[in-house]
A and B are shown apart, each in its own frame.
Chain A
Amino acid sequence: MTELLSVVVDAVIYSSWLFIIALGLTLIYGVMKILNMAHGSFYALGAYAAASLVGYWLGHGYPPLASYGMLVLAAILVGLITGPLVERGLLRFMYGKDEIILLLVTYALFLILEDSIKIIWGVNPYFISEPYGLLGVWDVAGLSYPFYNIILIAVSVLAGVGVAVVLQYTRPGKLLLAVIHDREVSMAMGINVNRFYMVTFTVGTMLAAIGGALTAPTVSVVPGMGVGVIVLAFAVVVIGGLGSLQGAALGALIVGLVRSAAVHYLPQVELFSIYVVMALVLIFRPKGLFAAAEVRKI
């Protein structure tokens, strides 16, 4: 029983981490129809930026508690700089090309960013573990978890709800939904699709960066940390249904649960459990769990 509880707790923590990243990915796909391979690099950028910023902050003996603010600030900076730069500077010239070409463009971007990160930060690991331990631990089912995980969960929920609210209740959000639903029509309606693309991509980048920034204190920030994340996030959004918000949430939860169950009961299969799940979901729901059925006029 207590083990079951810890399975769930571990799953929730892992899922919320995954969701933040997948959210950005699914948002970008939903609006721009780009499956962004560089998402993992944005995640890594977030982590490195956070490491530098928090390192500087604590290095100068500023109040440790504020380092949480630094984490978020780092992510926002990365988003605001990288997002527009990439979208305006590169992607916008690619719109209208095949999804696959766009995917390879982002793959090329990923390769370039990986080395850029290396050039900027070098290959040695960065540590900023203070924020992780700072708040102490809490006990669940006889196991202690750092409070930091609660921040992670909170941010993740916040991000999800935030995006949902914006889409549902604000005018730009509704317009964005229109773009997601039918690009041509919304263009005809005179919506400035390009601006939406830039904003969406920036927000998506920011989300990836937040994921990275929040992970930084719990890991050693090293080159290639973003690579593994890409396929994980892909699996999540595909399971959930590309471009679907609740899909990403459910997908993350499923992946999280399966993984943590595997770890606790069948560690041997952890390696490919996620892909088995993805295959099974696609076999029974060919377009993922929350796929929008499209009507083909003839």
Chain B
Amino acid sequence: MKKLSCGPKTFAIAVSIFPMLLLAMHAGAGAQEKPLKIGVVTFLSGAAAGPFGVPAKQAGEVVVEALNAGGKVPGYGSKGMGGSSIELVFVDEAGGTTKQVTEYRNLIERVDLVIGYISSGDCLAVAPAAEEMRKLTILFDCGTPRVFEDATYKYVFRTGATSTMDNVAAALYISETNPNVKKIAGINQNYAWGQDSWSDFLAAMKVLKPGIEVATVQWPQLLSGQYGAEISALLSSGADVVHSSFWGGDMEAFVLQASPRGLFKKSTVVLTCGETGMYKLGSQVPDGTVIGARGPFDMFAPDTELNRWFRKAYQDKYGVPPTYPSYKMAQALLGLKSAYDKARSSNGNKAPGQDQVIAAFERISFEAPGGKVQMALGKGHQAVQGMVFGTVKHNGNQVTYVDVKTYPPDKVTPPEGVKAEDWIKSGFKSGK
């Protein structure tokens, strides 16, 4: 069996060459004059690609197209960024932190700066590398507060708010809409994101409703997809409120499996990442479900000219409305543009250097489709934003949101220099 006859060999070549051809095709894409090259790292494969990676990628394309054309984006009239046109280089975020740090180092050889990272693990791993390589790097989606709590960075910015506010706001929302909540339960994916989300939510609830009772806390595996037993446990726990930071397919599967079994009737379910599923799944999400969008995005976004333009441009190009990852990508690009243009004007209208851009970026505040963003925390490197929650109400076969409550940044994010955990436990002390 060691040697193969010719037939199979040729076949085998056929089998394996084909992808190589694909690769070659991709290789065709090259560069022209001297545009600003931005490496964009988001999930192109795996479970996070559909809900997060691709919407973000598409938003990036929409915004950059418009910026390069110039005069299209309301409030951002000037062409490109700091004068030069923009070119995006996409890289897959899949494969774990080890791969990502390696790929990051490869990527920065080819681009002027990097925007990316949905997974908190990748953000924590890449930030030090960025600092070491002295490369401007903007984290656009990942949620863990640890990035700027554990360290301070010069080259790293995050234009999205931390996940703290999702769960603090969720707790505030619940305590306002269900004033007499006695028992809460949780079902969160068994990894850092789920664990942090639950502990923030629980801590906040304990502050807001002293003596709150925990009925059950479920920790299914990430991407397990089968929640029968967990749902039974939740059903029999008799909790008034069920908190879940499930995202993407897991969240959708959970809804599909739980709603026929009446979990949503028995208790108020809070889905802090529910928004990404609503367009496809809306009909399946029962009335009374509390939905979050990880910020003032999508249906919770302010009705500004910028937002209207973004929604329309995205919808026209891709036939679906933008979801929160799209908003966060747009936010990152527009924040960056603001910084570049500011740096350029303060540089006598010459293309600014990286340090000038960084200086301009710190503590900047800018308009995005999701409203005003302030780089207020982490010595001006970490954005803060308001948080919104709403309750699903079906209106015929159309999904609407009632009891929409908006919480200003200072209500849901700790002040500079205070760890989220301590801030919540301290009873949200404003610090000042």
> A and B bound?
yes
The answer to whether A10 and B190 touch (CB under 8 A), given A115-B19, A144-B262, A223-B50, is no
Say how far A174's CB is from chain B's closest CB, in angstroms. Answer: 27
Give the residue of A14, A93, A268 whose beta carbon is less than 8 angstroms from that of B229. Answer: A14
- Residues of A in contact with B, size category: 35 or more
Say how far A156's CB is from chain B's closest CB, in angstroms. Answer: 14
Contact A219 B221 (CB under 8 A): no
The total of Cβ contacts below 8 Å across the A-B interface reads 145
Say how far A69's CB is from chain B's closest CB, in angstroms. Answer: 21
Decide yes or no whether B24 CB sits under 8 A from chain A: no
Name B208-228 residues within 8 Å CB distance of A: 216-221, 223-226, 228
Give the residue of A97, A112, A123 whose beta carbon is less than 8 angstroms from that of B44. Answer: A123
Docked Cα-Cα span, A133 to B54, in Å, equals 30
The answer to whether A259 and B256 touch (CB under 8 A), given A97-B1, A270-B221, is no
The answer to whether A263 and B218 touch (CB under 8 A), given A14-B229, A220-B252, is yes
Decide yes or no whether A82 CB sits under 8 A from chain B: no
Contact B261 A219 (CB under 8 A): no
Interface of B is mostly: helix
Interface of A is mostly: helix
Decide yes or no whether A52 CB sits under 8 A from chain B: no
Contact A90 B12 (CB under 8 A): yes
Docked Cα-Cα span, A50 to B11, in Å, equals 30
The answer to whether A11 and B229 touch (CB under 8 A), given A127-B252, A220-B253, is yes
Say how far B246's CB is from chain A's closest CB, in angstroms. Answer: 11
Decide yes or no whether A132 CB sits under 8 A from chain B: yes
Decide yes or no whether A271 CB sits under 8 A from chain B: yes
* Interface residues contributed by chain B, number (CB under 8 Å): 47
Give the residue of B8, B53, B235, B280 whose beta carbon is less than 8 angstroms from that of A93. Answer: B8
Give the residue of A9, A95, A146, A215 whose beta carbon is less than 8 angstroms from that of B1. Answer: A95
A residues less than 8 Å from B53 (CB atoms): 123
Give the residue name and chain of the A residue nearest to B219 (CB). Answer: A267
Give the residue name and chain of the A residue nearest to B8 (CB). Answer: A93
Give the residue of A94, A215, A218, A271 whose beta carbon is less than 8 angstroms from that of B190. Answer: A271
Say how far B96's CB is from chain A's closest CB, in angstroms. Answer: 13
Say how far B294's CB is from chain A's closest CB, in angstroms. Answer: 18
Decide yes or no whether B85 CB sits under 8 A from chain A: no
Decide yes or no whether B121 CB sits under 8 A from chain A: no
The answer to whether A260 and B229 touch (CB under 8 A), given A93-B4, A93-B12, is yes
B residues less than 8 Å from A219 (CB atoms): 225, 249, 252-253, 256-257
Give the residue of B49, B233, B256 whose beta carbon is less than 8 angstroms from that of A129. Answer: B256
Give the residue name and chain of the B residue nearest to A114 (CB). Answer: B45
Docked Cα-Cα span, A177 to B257, in Å, equals 40
Decide yes or no whether B230 CB sits under 8 A from chain A: yes
Decide yes or no whether A162 CB sits under 8 A from chain B: no
Contact A112 B47 (CB under 8 A): no
Say how far A131's CB is from chain B's closest CB, in angstroms. Answer: 11
Decide yes or no whether B347 CB sits under 8 A from chain A: no
Say how far A33's CB is from chain B's closest CB, in angstroms. Answer: 13
Contact A228 B223 (CB under 8 A): yes
Q: Which of A9, A125, A146, A215 has its CB near the most chain B CB atoms (within 10 A)? A: A125
Contact A145 B261 (CB under 8 A): yes
Contact A143 B260 (CB under 8 A): no
A residues less than 8 Å from B281 (CB atoms): 127, 220
Q: CB-CB contacts of A142-161 with B at 8 A, as 1s and 0s? A: 11111001000000000000
Say how far B231's CB is from chain A's closest CB, in angstroms. Answer: 9
Say how far B318's CB is from chain A's closest CB, in angstroms. Answer: 10
Decide yes or no whether A61 CB sits under 8 A from chain B: no
Say how far A103's CB is from chain B's closest CB, in angstroms. Answer: 16
B residues less than 8 Å from A227 (CB atoms): 223
Docked Cα-Cα span, A130 to B365, in Å, equals 47
Contact A14 B226 (CB under 8 A): yes
Decide yes or no whether B232 CB sits under 8 A from chain A: yes
The answer to whether A137 and B260 touch (CB under 8 A), given A222-B248, A270-B190, A270-B221, is yes
B residues less than 8 Å from A184 (CB atoms): none
Contact A13 B228 (CB under 8 A): yes
Decide yes or no whether A225 CB sits under 8 A from chain B: yes
Say how far B222's CB is from chain A's closest CB, in angstroms. Answer: 8
The answer to whether A268 and B12 touch (CB under 8 A), given A222-B47, A260-B229, is no
Q: CB-CB contacts of B282-319 with A at 8 A, as 1s and 0s? A: 00100000000000000000000000000000000000
Q: CB-CB contacts of B42-77 with A at 8 A, as 1s and 0s? A: 001111011101100000000000000000000000
B residues less than 8 Å from A149 (CB atoms): 228
A residues less than 8 Å from B225 (CB atoms): 215, 219, 225, 228
Say how far A66's CB is from chain B's closest CB, in angstroms. Answer: 20
Docked Cα-Cα span, A28 to B79, in Å, equals 60
Docked Cα-Cα span, A94 to B1, in Å, equals 7
Give the residue of B216, B249, B261 whose beta carbon is less than 8 angstroms from that of A143. Answer: B261
Decide yes or no whether B27 CB sits under 8 A from chain A: no
Contact A264 B232 (CB under 8 A): yes
A residues less than 8 Å from B31 (CB atoms): none
B residues less than 8 Å from A122 (CB atoms): 50
Name B259-289 residues within 8 Å CB distance of A: 260-262, 277, 280-281, 284
A residues less than 8 Å from B25 (CB atoms): none
B residues lining the A interface (CB < 8 Å): 1, 4, 8, 11-12, 15, 19, 44-47, 49-51, 53-54, 190, 216-221, 223-226, 228-230, 232-233, 235-236, 248-249, 252-253, 256-257, 260-262, 277, 280-281, 284
7 closest A-B pairs by CB: A96-B1, A220-B252, A10-B229, A222-B249, A123-B49, A219-B253, A263-B229
Q: List 11 A-B contacts (CB under 8 A).
A: A94-B1, A118-B49, A145-B228, A145-B261, A218-B256, A219-B256, A219-B257, A220-B281, A224-B45, A225-B249, A267-B218
Question: Beyond the given A219-B252, A222-B50, A263-B230, could you list 12 further A-B residue pairs with CB under 8 A, ordered by the A residue number?
Answer: A10-B232, A90-B12, A93-B12, A143-B261, A144-B235, A149-B228, A218-B253, A220-B253, A259-B229, A263-B233, A264-B229, A271-B221
